[in-house]
Amino acid sequence: MVGPSRPIHAVTFAELAAFAGRNPVLSLAFVGLTVAIIANEIAGLLSGIKRIGPSQLTALVNRDNALVIDLRAAADFAKGHIAGSKNVQMSQFDPENKALAPAKALPVVLVCNVGQTAGVAAKRLRKAGFTNVAVLEGGIRAWLAADLPVVKGR
């Protein structure tokens, strides 16, 4: 049996200030994390690199013939990757490669495990003159979480 219901207690500014005074380390940590999250979001917005979800990636591939570059290790790629994606390890990733010149006109979507490595590679592509660059938000994990198919092998 559930106990008696209690009304929700709204925290007043005075109570919040008292808590902050009693817990300065927690308060500073909260403020620091909040500032870091906001700065990270602003940096992402100003970078000019789009972050797209799995359904947007599917649409880009089907509609605009997007080039999907998977930056994961070859063994991870072989275990399962997005159909049609090309595997290029970060150690071999060279946006200045002449073979990539024709791809400058295509949308390019970078994929890694969770989206961090792809963000670094996307900045390098933008610097090399690629204008339509995106990162799969959440990486291959987001793709799998959306229950989308992968292809095994190379």
Place of tokens 């495990």: 113
Geometric angle at alpha carbon 28, from 23 and 32, rounded to 5°: 150
Phi, psi values for residue 71, rounded to 5°: -95, 5
| Strand partners for 52 | 136
Q: Check 66, 82, 112, 118 and give the catalytic one.
A: 112
For 81, which DSSP code?
A: B
Rounded to an integer, what is the distance from CA 122 to the centroid of its chain?
A: 11
For 47, which DSSP code?
A: T
Tell me, yes or no, if 85 is annotated catalytic. no
- Residue 138 near residue 115 (C-beta atoms within 8 A): yes
What is the set of active-site residues? 112
